């Protein structure tokens, strides 16, 4: 009997176990990217048409340290009136730490880059530091 592809993929996902746990979250990460980021950053989107690189080609995503990527996702990008230019919204209130980590894992993985370690904790730390600074 041949197992249909969909069922085989499902069995693989369920039986994958702890070793593939990070990979199993990447579909969720891709969904976050498609929902929250693709309108501006995917192939054919306004930022890319305007000449900005795809995210995996930026140092923020390809570099060794996730700090810049985490910061811009949590707090956005708001140029001053003198600078002008396009904005990126802040996602601190709409995405949780796991969603941000899954999405960054998916971005890195789809570009063939190794996973950043302890990503969800890193997101949590950047968030915590910012709320401390506001007190």
Judged by CB under 6 A, which stretch of 7-15, 17-25, 54-62, 125-133 contacts ligand HEC? 54-62
From 11-19, 21-29, 57-65, 115-123, give the range in contact with ligand HEC by CB under 6 A. 57-65
DSSP label of 3: P
Overall size of the chain counted in residues? 135
Instruction: Please say which residue, 13 or 77, places its beta carbon nearer to ligand HEC.
Output: 77
User: In this chain, which residue has its C-beta nearest to ligand HEC?
Assistant: 37
Determine how many CB atoms are found less than 10 A away from the CB of residue 68. 13
CA–CA gap between residue 34 and residue 59 (Å, rounded): 21
Work out whether 73 is an interface residue with ligand HEC (CB under 6 A). Answer: yes
110: contact with ligand HEC by CB under 6 A: no
Q: Which residues contact 24 (CB under 8 A, 6 or more apart)?
A: 13, 16
Q: What does the alpha-carbon distance between residue 116 and residue 97 come to, in Å, rounded to a whole number? A: 14
127 contacts ligand HEC (rule: CB under 6 A): no
Is residue 40 near ligand HEC by the rule CB under 6 A?
yes
Supply the minimum distance, in Å, between the C-beta of residue 5 and ligand HEC: 30
Say what angle helices 97-110 and 26-36 make with each other, to 10 degrees.
100
Write down the least CB distance from residue 90 to ligand HEC, Å.
10
Q: What angle do CA 35, 13, 70 make, to 5 degrees?
A: 40
Q: Which residues in this chain contact ligand HEC in the complex, by CB under 6 A?
A: 36-37, 39-41, 47, 52, 55, 58, 60-61, 69, 72-73, 77, 86-89, 91, 103
């Amino acid at each position: 009997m041949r197992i249909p592809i969909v069922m085989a993929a499902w069995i693989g996902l369920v039986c994958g176990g702890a070793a593939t746990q990070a990979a199993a979250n990447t579909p969720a990460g891709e969904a976050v990217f498609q929902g929250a980021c693709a309108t501006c950053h995917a192939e054919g989107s306004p930022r890319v048409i305007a000449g900005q690189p795809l995210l995996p080609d930026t140092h923020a995503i390809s570099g060794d340290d996730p700090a810049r990527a985490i910061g811009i996702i949590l707090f956005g990008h708001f140029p001053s009136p003198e600078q002008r230019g396009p904005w990126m919204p802040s996602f601190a209130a709409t995405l949780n730490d796991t969603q941000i980590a899954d999405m960054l894992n998916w971005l890195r993985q789809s570009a063939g880059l190794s996973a950043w370690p302890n990503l969800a904790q890193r997101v949590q730390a950047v968030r915590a530091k910012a709320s401390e600074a506001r007190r």
